[in-house]
């Protein structure tokens, strides 16, 4: 599955947000830096109204949404890259995630201490990005030392790695994150394998006060401009409101949202933004027993998509029977789609499309 790491300075609302996301008390929210020392991992259902619709049409007994993993990575502070505080462990946790949800404090509250003594989300974002860049520089320098011997021995992979590491180093020493380095298609795989922290896509999460959840405020506006300039994404959320919503029954939550002038829960927007940031798509398997959603990277071929369900589906892949979501809904189900000639047989080269309703045929 795909993993988002929640990072940010202490006391910006990470734990509050994580709690709301996972509806657990596992990550204790407290007005105290370093309160979450172990990374907390939670799985979240990806909200998708299409799945409910498909299930209703097929009268499926159970509905199984696809999931996204969130990891609460607390304790990133100024000096983390030098191993100050609890730094190193956190940097190792960040290496493992696919994308970073960077929570920025955009709320004013004199009762909640800010580590730098002022609310300035753009400066906070720079503080964290600087730590990540310093950590990348340090790890690259170490790796370059270790790789020298392999390069001398003529190891082709090592030669490629060295070239990419040096390109990253040039950018980083120039004060630019590694994600801004132009990488050729043939280098893309090796580049991703370097797992540099500043190549991870970033989603800024502006944590605003309760009254500002609908429209944001001057701080979140400043973050929006920074994100646009960097090519990163942003969402505006009130972690406190989300925490309150997460404790309500669905219909109560809907009323509460309407009262606050919000069309949908911020967490739904956050998950969707994470989906878009990672270029993720959803396909469905639908039958009387269950309707289920599955996550793939955009551009995934049918055998690889089958492999998300089970490795054997990929290995023994014969073909996929495919109905587009719109056809399935408009025609009223699988049989009707088949009768209308809207069920297609697709082979190994087929690129799965977002919303496809799939049925895999495979050799065991
Ligand atoms: P973390 O250290 O980043 O995980 O931050 P926490 O989630 O523990 O929050 C730190 C403190 O800020 C807690 O006392 C929260 O109740 C408070 N807090 C979090 N979000 C908001 C918010 O949107 N508005 C206000 N006023 N306080 C918040």
Residue 203 has a pLDDT of 96
Q: From ligand 1's centre to the CA of 44, what distance in Å?
A: 21
pTM attached to this predicted model: 0.85
Q: From ligand 1's centre to the CA of 259, what distance in Å?
A: 22
CATH topology of domain 299-362: Ubiquitin-like (UB roll) (3.10.20)
Residue range(s) in the chain whose domain bears CATH number 3.40.50.300: 3-277
CA distance readout (Å), 356 to 151, 276, 277, 312, 363: 46, 17, 20, 21, 22
Q: From ligand 1's centre to the CA of 12, what distance in Å?
A: 6
Residue 157 has a pLDDT of 93
Closest CA to 16 of 202, 242, 269: 242
Residue 82 has a pLDDT of 62
User: Is 3-277 in CATH node 3.40.640.10?
Assistant: no
Chain Cα centroid distance, residue 233? 11
The CB of 30 under 6 Å from ligand 1? The reply is: yes
Please state whether beta strands 99-105 and 290-297 pair in parallel, antiparallel, or not at all (unpaired): unpaired
Residue 280 has a pLDDT of 95
Residue 98 has a pLDDT of 93
Mutate to test the pocket of ligand 1, among 16, 28, 31, 104 (most ligand atoms within 8 A of CB): 16
Binding residues for ATP: 11-16
The CB of 300 under 6 Å from ligand 1? The reply is: no
Residue 350 has a pLDDT of 98
The CB of 106 under 6 Å from ligand 1? The reply is: no
Residue range(s) in the chain whose domain bears CATH number 3.10.20.30: 299-362
The strand order across the sheet containing 357-362 reads 62-64, 290-297, 280-286, 357-362, 317-323, 344-346
Q: What is the pLDDT along the chain (364 residues), one digit of tens a residue?
A: 789 999 998 889 998 888 888 764 333 333 333 334 345 788 888 888 999 999 999 999 999 988 888 888 876 666 665 655 445 667 778 888 999 999 999 998 878 777 777 899 999 999 999 988 998 998 899 999 999 889 998 899 999 999 999 999 999 999 999 999 999 999 999 999 999 999 999 999 999 999 899 899 999 999 999 999 888 899 999 999 998 888 888 788 888 888 888 888 888 888 889 999 999 999 999 999 999 999 999 999 999 999 999 999 999 999 999 999 999 999 999 999 999 999 999 999 999 999 999 999 999 8
| DSSP characters over 260-314 | TT-SS-HHHHHHHHHHHHTTEEEEEEE-SSEEEEEEEETT-BHHHHHHHH-HHHH
Which pair of structure tokens corresponds to residue 33?
């830096």
Residue 57 has a pLDDT of 97
Q: From ligand 1's centre to the CA of 236, what distance in Å?
A: 15
The CB of 198 under 6 Å from ligand 1? The reply is: no
The CB of 238 under 6 Å from ligand 1? The reply is: yes
Residue 105 has a pLDDT of 95
Q: From ligand 1's centre to the CA of 16, what distance in Å?
A: 6
* Atom in ligand 1 nearest the alpha carbon of residue 30: 8
Report how far apart the first and last C-alpha atoms of the chain are (Å, whole number).
24
CA distance readout (Å), 144 to 137, 151, 160, 163, 181: 10, 10, 12, 10, 18
């Amino acid at each position: 599955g795909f993993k988002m790491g929640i990072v940010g300075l202490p006391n910006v609302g990470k734990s509050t947000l994580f709690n709301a996301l996972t509806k657990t008390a596992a990550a204790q929210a407290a007005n105290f830096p370093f309160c979450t020392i172990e990374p907390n991992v939670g799985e979240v259902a990806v909200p998708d109204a299409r799945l409910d619709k498909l299930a209703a049409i097929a009268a499926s007994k159970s509905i199984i949404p696809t999931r996204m993993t969130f990891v609460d990575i607390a304790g990133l502070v100024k000096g983390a890259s030098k191993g100050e505080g609890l730094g190193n462990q956190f940097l190792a946790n960040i290496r493992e995630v696919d994308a970073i949800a960077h929570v920025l404090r955009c709320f004013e509250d004199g009762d909640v201490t800010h580590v730098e003594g002022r609310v300035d989300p753009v400066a906070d974002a720079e503080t964290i990005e600087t730590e990540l860049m310093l950590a990348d520089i340090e790890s690259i320098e170490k790796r370059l030392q270790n790789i020298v011997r392999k390069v001398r021995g003529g190891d082709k992979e090592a030669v490629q790695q060295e070239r990419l590491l040096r390109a990253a180093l040039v950018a980083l020493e120039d004060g630019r994150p590694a994600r801004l380095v132009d990488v050729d298609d043939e280098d893309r795989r090796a580049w991703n394998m370097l797992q540099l922290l500043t190549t991870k896509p970033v989603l800024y999460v502006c944590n605003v006060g309760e009254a500002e959840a609908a429209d944001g405020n001057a701080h979140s506006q400043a973050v929006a401009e920074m994100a646009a300039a960097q090519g990163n994404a942003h969402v505006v959320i009130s972690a406190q409101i989300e925490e309150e919503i997460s404790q309500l029954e669905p219909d109560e939550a809907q009323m509460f949202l309407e009262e606050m002038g919000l069309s949908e829960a911020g967490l739904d927007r956050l998950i969707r933004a994470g989906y878009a940031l990672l270029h993720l798509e959803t396909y469905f398997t639908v039958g009387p027993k269950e309707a289920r959603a599955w996550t793939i990277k955009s551009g995934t071929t049918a055998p690889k998509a089958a492999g998300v369900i089970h490795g054997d589906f990929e290995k023994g892949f014969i073909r996929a029977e495919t109905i587009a979501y719109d056809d399935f809904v408009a025609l009223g189900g699988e049989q009707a789609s088949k009768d209308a000639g809207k069920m297609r047989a697709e082979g190994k080269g087929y690129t799965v499309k977002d919303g496809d309703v799939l049925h895999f045929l495979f050799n065991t």
